[in-house]
Amino acid sequence: GARQQTNRCNESLMLEKLPACGKSFEEMMKKVDSKKWCNLTEFIMYYDNFTQCTEREANKASCFWPNPLAEGFITGIHKQFFSNCTSEKVHWEDPPDEILITLILIPVMLTCAMITLVVWCSKRSDIL
């Protein structure tokens, strides 16, 4: 029988070609003010081109995309351009005591009322 030839991932070729994608992305990002690097809408097309480039180069090397090596390269680009783009942490505070007590007591009172109603109705089942 005929054997189907499968291409193996040429990782060294892929790693040789991926930096060209990074260089192209770097050139495009020079057009964007570095203060706007955390705003994806400012460079979404450049990032899409970068992603497509890495996928294309991985496929040319007969590699799946994403793969651990390509992800490592992409992570390096992220560190280079977006390391200062951490999301601001929200500082949560408890509500004032009056509101907190009300928010706790309302469900407790409703639960007590429902239990009382169920017990009362179950004792009067002969009438219902």
pLDDT of res. 59: 95
Residue 87 has φ and ψ, to the nearest 5°, of -75, 145
Q: What per-residue confidence (pLDDT) applies to 127? A: 62
pLDDT at position 5: 46
Contact criterion met (CB below 8 Å) for 31 and 45: no
Looking at residue 87, its pLDDT comes to 67
Give pLDDT, residue 126. 65
**Under-70 pLDDT residues of the chain:** 1-6, 87-90, 126-128
At 4 the pLDDT is 43
* Angstrom distances, CA of residue 21 to CA of 2, 31, 78, 95, 122: 38, 16, 13, 50, 74
